[in-house]
Amino acid sequence: MINVYNTMSREKEELVIDNNVIKLFVCGPTVYDYSHIGHARTYISFDVIVRYLKHKGYSVFYLQNITDIDDKIINRAKERNVDPLELSHKFEEEYLKDMQLLNVTNVNFYARATEHMQAIINQIQTLMDKGYAYDTPTGVYFDVSKFEGFAKLSNRKLDDLQNVRISVDSTKKDPKDFALWKKQDEEPYWDSPWGKGRPGWHIEDTAITETYFGPQYNIHGGGLDLIFPHHDAEIAQMEAASGKEPLVEYWMHTGFLNVRGEKMSKSLGNFITIKELLKDYSPETYRFFVLSTHYRSPIDFSDEILKQAENSLNRIRNTGKLLLDYYNSEDIADSNEETVVEDLNNFKDEFFSAMDNDFNTPIALSSLFDYTHKLNKSIASCIISKDTTLEIIDTLKTIENILGIDILVEDSVGSDLSNDILSILTDVREKLRAKKDWDLADKIRDDLSQLDISLEDK
């Protein structure tokens, strides 16, 4: 059983899915620049959520849109004197490359807004026919006063919204009404029953999800910033057009990646691109860093915390390597000592119940970290049988798949510097042993073993 926090009910709910097939939609990026590590935070979180759902036996169809036409894209293209679609498709390509590098590999289909123009127009037409939308000289707008319960996801009252300017346009009946179609004669435009123009931001998502999932589906995800107005607008559009509710059973939102308390964003200009980050850190270190915080909580980005994540991952991998070496060594025990199986079972319980509880990766990772300490000791004392070693390896392989991070790596891990220091220490210790200075040699070995590094005297 998995419990999921549903933004709509503001409670954790048991995930109940008919036929074990999950239709999941997560809002994709607006591609007018390189993606930053805040985007990566959201997409890594959903990647792990999908990996875990699959591990639990669900079959998941994960759909993401690509906003390839939008004001920001058009403005950026003007600044650079290039074609807006050329610009957006270049950055879409870069986004997909970044996701591949970060091992975000579970999206089944990326749907471009511009390739769903007919579905968008059809949905707007339905809203017009049903009296939820109206046409003005500047565009077609959704009339929020016609949709009972507007903003039910963000839980805002219509009266509170009086001062919220969704977009300024004097032809709108009410400032809260939002654009379904923006009229314009300048390229890029598409023909529609209301004249040349392009779609509003919210309608592309419901037109895309209706195309692939129909009017209702299981899970919708995105960053916290999208709850209002974007997701509230999606609910209004699709529920009004289809007459069916709810649009979505479970709404899931990720917290922000912040820099000094402020959301990392392209518009604030305080962003680090994924490409920049990957010059200094491995993709797996970044995944580990992201997963060390619960997906709904904010993360404060700092080099220090990333370095800690790198060290923790290296230590876990050291254990992975020790375990593989132990499995192939002649020292492997014939039978287990009592605690070995108990430690493994406790660890599995902790890890998987944390994941079942709204995908609590930080608790799952800390149980993994604690377990590796125990494992290091058991390996050093050669008290694990071959069968159990294999079972541990299998468990860690399952976990690797869920986290999208390799743990069982053959080559030595750790920074070059720490490897160099280690080699100096072992040389010194060899010299001490040659001089029969057993006390000091043993002290070096014991101190290193506190760091989970075991030295063997051959």
Residues that bind ligand AMP (CB under 6 A): 27, 29-30, 38-39, 41-42, 222-223, 225-226, 254, 256-257, 263-265
Q: Tell me 256's DSSP state.
A: P
Closest residue to bound ligand AMP by CB: 223
CB-side exposure of 329: number of CA atoms within 13 Å? 17
Question: From the CB of 72, what's the least distance to ligand AMP, in Å?
Answer: 9
The one-character DSSP state at 145 is: G
Q: Tokens at residue 36, please?
A: 């930053």
Residue 38 tokens read as 């805040």
Q: Is the separation of the CB atoms in 36 and 24 below 8 Å?
A: no
Is 183 or 263 the residue whose CB approaches ligand AMP more closely? 263
Nearer to ligand AMP, 300 or 331 (CB): 300
Instruction: Report in angstroms how near the CB of residue 277 gets to ligand AMP at its nearest.
Output: 13
Which residues does 204 contact at the CB level (< 8 Å), separation at least 6?
Answer: 65, 67, 113, 116, 120
Query: In the complex with ligand AMP, which residue's Cβ is closer, 31 or 120?
Result: 31
The residue among 139 and 221 lying less far from ligand AMP, judged by its C-beta, is 221
Residues 6+ apart with CB under 8 A from 383: 333, 336, 337, 339, 340
**Shortest CB 223 distance to ligand AMP, Å:** 2
CB 2 within 8 A of CB 197: no
Give the integer Cα–Cα distance in Å for 114 and 203. 12
Q: How far is the CB of 132 from ligand AMP (least distance, A)?
A: 25
List the Cα angle 451/380/347 in 5-degree steps: 80
CB-nearer residue toward ligand AMP: 253 or 429: 253
DSSP code, position 414: S
User: Measured at the alpha carbon of residue 403, what is the angle toward residues 17 and 50, in degrees to the nearest 5?
Assistant: 25
What does DSSP say about strands 11-14 and 197-199: parallel, antiparallel, or unpaired?
unpaired
Ramachandran assignment for 260, one of left (phi > 0), alpha (psi -120 to 50 degrees), beta (any other): left
Give the residue with the Cβ less far from ligand AMP, 241 or 291: 291
Shortest distance, position 39 Cβ to ligand AMP, whole Å: 4
For ligand AMP, which is the closer residue by CB, 43 or 181?
A: 43
Q: How far is the CB of 42 from ligand AMP (least distance, A)?
A: 4
Please state whether 414 falls in left (phi above 0), alpha (psi between -120 and 50) or beta.
left
DSSP state of 173: S
User: How many CB atoms are closer than 10 A to CB 302?
Assistant: 12
Nearer to ligand AMP, 257 or 277 (CB): 257
CB closer to ligand AMP, 221 vs 320: 221
Paired tokens of 403? 């986290």
- In the bound state with ligand AMP, the residue whose beta carbon lies nearer, of 38 and 229, is 38
| Residue type at 319 in one-letter notation | T
Strand order in 248-254's β-sheet? 109-112, 59-66, 21-26, 217-223, 248-254
